[in-house]
A and B are shown apart, each in its own frame.
Chain A
């Protein structure tokens, strides 16, 4: 059945104008259809879509806490097995709820092999509590807990935690990175993930107009630049087979990282010192030098 014309994520929610999260969720639900149960970690998506007694969710939905969406999903999976029912289970977690506080529950869920699609919408900070750094915040980003000042002109001093690789290292049946600005690639990966039995993990980049400090009309543009600069590569890894990792998109000509950084207030300070931009460009170049061979369209 094709449900692309139907809406399972209703308008009227309280997410900011220009937030990428509802775009991601809306389309994942269209691709999954109504035979779906959603679990949601605490965070912007959960808080802004379920102000009691209203809801944006036209599929069964449950929120329990911040760090346990994967564990709640595990319980639902067990209940479905006990009842002999087949229903898609999709867990949505932000980067904090996934790579930091929810990491253990996610790791357990994947190791136990639950039939769940876990979607990380990665806006690269704890946005719901006001833009604090997370393990997924990139090097050089300003957040309210990686502040920029005379003693620290850089902001966050550590790179992003490689969550997709970590989950792939669990030998999960399907792990992919995706970007809603690369819509066909995104759709393909969601469909593929849903067709596979067992734990699936999608790492989706999700821009945040408030935390990234960008113009709300530039959401898709900025997301596109994340991948066109090579900073957020799109790939999939099946069954932990890193040798056969597949990069699904490679820019014909990489854009310089400045183009991605420039429109975002969170990186503004980096432009005071060309060395910082150079460092980020070098990181990207090195990544592609190492992994570029896995581009297999």
Chain B
């Protein structure tokens, strides 16, 4: 069934179709509509679940952990400051190997306070042991939301997962979305069976105990292995999804790359603009390609090496910044190629922070520098569409 829905509703419908049993959540722009929609679906009898209107995001994740440990399917949603407030407990959800799924309305972090899109919130949780998926459209938000449960709950994985949908560009924008039938999602996900030790009075177990140095690293190595194994499970689940629902997903989605000299790497909704931009460049005979990174954790090193290895320049276009180094995707991609003899020149482009539009002009600036990089040195990290002069003046450098 085709419906016209906002990205937040994609997440809510993914939870409904996955028959999520407990949703602890706290409102924050731009993902507030997720708990609102869940509350509505429960109130009018369309969804059977316990909604826990917690008093903070820290408690949202804590309650999610409690419920998941009891052995039910759990979903929640947040963004930005809310995700940052959860930080402490995110490590615990993954350390306890609980397959919680969380929708994120990707939004900038304060200060200055800003409610618009960038990927800083999720990127800053990179090392918490959660899988990370980024949606390009509301359809992807819904599909990845559903698939995230199957991947997270797989016995070989048992890790929590975040699905990012860009603030406003997706969360609040109505798009046509193909809503799968409940029966088909039931068949795809199967009934929820916790493949982990739960809080069961018939079978008492101690969860979250005190780990001494002689055990701690084995727990962490287990998470490492699970994340490595998730790579294959993600491929399997993407494939099965395509067979059943006809929509194709790849961890790394390449377009126009065969003979491309310059390849742009994008994430999330900016991919749509970039695709059209690249298509037009192709019409002008320019050898430019596009790679969309749908999965950031586990980082798809193997695919990226394979797809990008023949490019002359890889332009990483990203909406986050790690001060003192550069963008997170640039950092990871660079180290992904560190052992390869033949490698493309990788250049970083910081764009669209705090909701600044990413337009053809933005991408033109990117490609200009990328073209230059084919025969001369350029800056490693390039800030695009920024009033540099004003900042340098304010800092007393001009």
A: residues with CB less than 8 A from B are 34-37, 39, 46-47, 50-53, 55, 57-65, 67-68, 70-76, 78-83, 87, 104-105, 107-108, 111-112
| Cβ-Cβ contact count across A and B, 8 Å cutoff | 155
A-B contact list, 30 entries, CB within 8 Å: A35-B201, A37-B201, A52-B209, A52-B210, A52-B212, A61-B207, A63-B208, A64-B62, A64-B89, A65-B88, A68-B62, A72-B65, A72-B69, A74-B52, A74-B54, A74-B59, A75-B63, A76-B66, A76-B67, A78-B50, A79-B22, A79-B70, A82-B67, A82-B72, A83-B71, A104-B59, A105-B58, A108-B55, A108-B59, A112-B53
Contact of A75 among B65, B208, B209 (CB under 8 A): B65
Q: B22 near A78 (CB under 8 angstroms)?
A: yes
Contact B62 A52 (CB under 8 A): no
In the complex formed, the residue of A with least CB distance to B216 is A52
- Verify B67–A78 contact, CB threshold 8 A: yes
**Distance between B329 CB and nearest chain A CB, rounded to angstroms:** 30
CB neighbours (8 Å) of A76 from chain B are 66-67, 69-70, 199
Quick check: B62 and A105 within 8 Å, CB to CB? yes
Whether B66 contacts A79 by the Cβ 8 Å rule is: yes
Interface residue total, chain B, C-beta cutoff 8 A: 44
Contact B71 A79 (CB under 8 A): yes
Chain A: which residue is nearest B215 at the CB level? Answer: A52
Per the 8 Å Cβ criterion, residues 46-82 of B in contact with A are 49-50, 52-56, 58-60, 62-72, 74
CB distance A75 to B52 under 8 Å?
yes
With A78-B22, A82-B49 as contacts: A62 and B66 at CB distance below 8 Å: yes
Cβ–Cβ < 8 Å partners of B211 in chain A: 52
Report the Cα distance A58→B203, complex, angstroms: 9
Contact A64 B50 (CB under 8 A): no
Which of B55, B66, B70 sits near A64, CB closer than 8 Å?
B66
Q: Which residue of B lies closest to A66 (CB)?
A: B88
Q: Are A63 and B59 in contact (CB under 8 A)?
A: no
Which residues from A are CB-within-8-Å of B72?
79, 82-83
Are A75 and B89 interface neighbours, CB within 8 A?
no
Name the contact of A108 in the complex, choosing from B56, B64, B198 (C-beta under 8 A): B56
Q: B residues within 8 A CB of A46?
A: 210
- Complex interface: chain B residues within 8 A of A79 (CB): 21-22, 50, 66-68, 70-72
Tell me the complex Cα distance, A61–B205, Å: 6
Nearest-Cβ distance from residue B191 to partner chain A, whole angstroms: 13
CA A108 to CA B58, docked complex, whole Å: 12
Q: How far apart are the CA atoms of A67 and B49 in the complex, in Å?
A: 26
A35-B22 Cα distance, complex, nearest whole Å? 22
B10-34 contacts to A (CB < 8 Å): 21-22, 24
B92 interface residue per 8 A CB criterion: yes
Q: A46-B210, A52-B211, A79-B66 are in contact. Are A60 and B92 (CB under 8 A)?
A: no
